[in-house]
Amino acid sequence: MPSPKPYLAVIADMDGVITRTARLHREAWRSLFDDVLAGRPRTEGEDHSPFTDQDYVRLVDGKPRLDGVRDFLADRGISLPEGDPSDGPDADTVHGLGTRKNDQFLATLTRHGVDTYPDTMAAFDRWQRDHLGLAVVSASRNCRRILDEAGLADRFDAIVDGETAREEGLSGKADLIAAAAARLDVEPSRCVLLEDATSGVRAGREVGCGLIVGVDRRDEVDEAPASPLTDDAHRVVTDVSGLRFPRRLRSIEEQRAAFESTRGGRPLAVFLDFDGTLSPIVDDPDAASIPDSTREAVRELTRSATVAIVSGRDRADVEDRAGLEGIHYAGSHGLDIKGPDRELVQPDAEAAAEDVARVEAMLRDTVGPIEGVVIERKRFSVAVHYRMVADEHVDLVRLETNKALDTTPRLRARTGKKVIELLPAIDWHKGHAVNWLLDALGIDPRQTLVMYVGDDETDEDAFAALAGRGLGIHVGPEVSDTLADYHLPDPAAVEAFLRSLASD
């Protein structure tokens, strides 16, 4: 199967995606319109109801300032003269109200300053490491001032804003997005667009952006109106750092200088997946083994670094296959953790054992007879492997496995490479296991460089847990849909990398 085409650039709206200035705009709009309504006599046909958070989303968010004024006035049945761009803030015109809103916004900005969203900044770090182009688009003519205040003026390859629109005669958000793609020298179809406003999302559709992501920050809105982003965005996220899409990752070996700069002489804590990372992927999971040379490389690394193996396998099973003493093992996706002087077993996982046994029996009756199916019973889960199943029977395996899952609410499904695993429906995964071990071992990611190396879908939770705090290394092709920071092509390359770490 050919690799997907990677996206080459990210175009991000500023307010509400990069900077926490949407609330400042909302406050300025509310102050403006409440003053306008309070100062007008009651006139038939006019609606003087206060400006709400729903009004912000529906009427002004993401639009040029004057369009926001016009749309709010029209919504309330209020007619004002257009006026002139030279109108001051006291003029009772569209331009005058626009000037007053801007003055109120700048005053609010001066009082509060500019904060950025940590999740977006963590994602930018990852994308810039892979040399994706980054552009910011904003209808605001204060965009560059805000970026300066936030210390981000030099972060982007292109800035297209309200001043750009004025200078170049651009009209509307679609023109701004198209101009940003042109400045990045990337076709819109190879761009990811991040927008928190429905008007921006629709503009991205108009331009033809390949992936349009609605960024839902409703938790910051007092009245929290229902998000309309789902109507037009390809995806909606609340946390940008968890956004995944196909991109070309850099090999950590090829970027060794950048890696050493990130490390800065700090000690290492290395978390390793087993199957597909230390052990090559095999058709029969019971035949998986770690090569002697890889085992020796890990053993050598333990002399200078903290090492743990985090696996979907039973903890006792992976411990036996690895054959390494003095390290920590997290089995069953972190439900069972054991190491020198430390141990953790999730009690809710023990409680679900009866359900796992019952579902296992069902699966052995329904999918067990299908040629190529391997049913693997673990301490806390049961996995259905279909790597050796003929293509025409794969859908049946998935259907029957999901039917078995539907019989109990105490289990959930996790998918991986040609496997569906049914395990306890508790909020615990490899990312939680990594965090628990960091706390238990007293490892501070600011003082120690923490790395996680893995190849499968379940390893994405660990990559997410280390976003902005450590490094994720994906074992697989260079074009991948992953949260990792770097890639290594296969377990042999993992062994070579671990050997090089041990020799540093």
**Domain for residue 1, yes or no?**
no
**Residues 275, 234 share a domain:** no
Instruction: Decide: residue 105, CB within 10 A, 0-12 exposed, 13-18 middle, 19+ buried.
Output: buried
**Residues 328, 259 share a domain:** yes
Nearest by Cα to 433 from 349, 322, 325: 349
492, two tokens? 């042999």
Q: Are 151 and 26 in contact (CB under 8 A)?
A: no
145, two tokens? 């001032």
Boundary residue ending a domain (112, 136, 160): 112
What CATH number should be reported for the domain holding residue 14? 3.40.50.1000
Beta bridge partners of 423: 412
Q: Note if 273 is an active site residue.
A: yes
Encode pLDDT of 400-432 as tens digits: 999 999 998 889 998 988 999 999 999 999 999
**Domain for residue 4, yes or no?**
no
How far is residue 136 from each of residues 34, 188, 240, measured CA to CA in Å? 31, 14, 15
**Domain for residue 96, yes or no?**
yes
**Residues 231, 144 share a domain:** yes
**Residues 232, 138 share a domain:** yes
**Residues 214, 141 share a domain:** yes
- Name residue, tokens 């003029």: 91
**Domain for residue 363, yes or no?**
yes
Helix axes 65-75, 22-38, angle to 10 degrees: 40
**Residues 286, 206 share a domain:** no
Beta bridge partners of 419: 385, 416
**Residues 204, 327 share a domain:** no
Domains contained in the chain, number:
4
Say how many C-beta atoms besides its own lie within 10 A of residue 189's C-beta: 14
- By DSSP bridging, strand 133-137 and strand 471-475 are unpaired
Q: Determine the structural domain holding residue 147 and report its residue range.
A: 9-19+114-247
**Domain for residue 3, yes or no?**
no
Q: Are 124 and 14 in contact (CB under 8 A)?
A: no
The DSSP result for 256-279, as a single string, is HHHHHHHHTT--EEEEE-SBTTTB
Name 132's Cβ contacts closer than 8 Å, sequence gap at least 6: 7, 8, 9, 10, 247
**Residues 437, 407 share a domain:** no
Boundary residue ending a domain (424, 449, 464): 424
**Residues 255, 233 share a domain:** no
Tell me the one-letter amino acid at 422: L
What CATH number should be reported for the domain holding residue 416? 3.30.70.1020
177, two tokens? 């997005």
Boundary residue ending a domain (247, 267, 287): 247
**Residues 364, 294 share a domain:** no
The single-letter DSSP state of residue 209 is -
- Name residue, tokens 């743990």: 308
CA angle (444, 447, 452) in 5-degree steps: 65
Cα distance between residue 220 and residue 23, in whole Å: 8
Q: Are 240 and 215 in contact (CB under 8 A)?
A: yes
**Residues 437, 317 share a domain:** yes
pLDDT in tens, the chain (504 residues): 455 789 999 999 998 899 988 777 788 889 899 888 988 888 888 999 999 888 888 898 878 888 999 999 999 999 999 999 899 988 999 999 988 988 888 887 777 778 899 999 989 988 988 889 999 999 888 899 889 888 998 999 999 998 999 899 998 899 999 999 999 999 999 999 999 888 899 999 999 999 999 999 876 655 545 556 777 899 999 999 989 999 999 899 888 888 888 888 899 999 999 999 999 988 888 889 999 999 999 999 999 999 999 999 999 999 999 999 999 999 999 999 999 988 999 888 888 888 999 999 999 999 999 999 999 998 899 999 999 999 999 999 999 999 999 998 889 998 988 999 999 999 999 999 999 999 999 999 999 999 999 999 999 999 999 988 899 999 999 999 999 999 999 999 999 999 999 987
CA angle (161, 167, 170) in 5-degree steps: 65
In what order do the strands lie in the sheet containing 9-13? 158-160, 133-137, 9-13, 191-195, 211-215, 235-237
**Residues 391, 311 share a domain:** no
- By DSSP bridging, strand 191-195 and strand 9-13 are parallel
**Domain for residue 337, yes or no?**
yes
**Domain for residue 191, yes or no?**
yes
**Domain for residue 2, yes or no?**
no
Q: Which of 15, 87, 273, 455 is catalytic?
A: 273
